[in-house]
Amino acid sequence: MNAKKAKVWYEKAAEQGNLDGVNGLARLYRYGTGVRKD
């Protein structure tokens, strides 16, 4: 899975209120996959 592409699609889904998109995005941030670490 390409984490950066997944992030884009999860964000689009989350913006439309899709809970699977919100959950997927949360997992990416939790594990630091495909997102910028702070």
Could you read off the pLDDT of 18-34 as tens digits, one per residue?
A: 999 999 999 999 999 98
**Mean pLDDT of the residues in the chain:** 92
Q: How many CB atoms sit inside 10 A of residue 20's CB?
A: 10
Residues 6+ apart with CB under 8 A from 34: 2, 3, 4, 6, 7, 28
Q: Do you know the residue count of the chain?
A: 38
Give pTM, 2 decimals: 0.84
Question: What local confidence, expressed as pLDDT, does residue 1 receive?
Answer: 66
CA distances from 3 to 8, 10 (A): 9, 10
Residue 36 or 25, more confident: 25
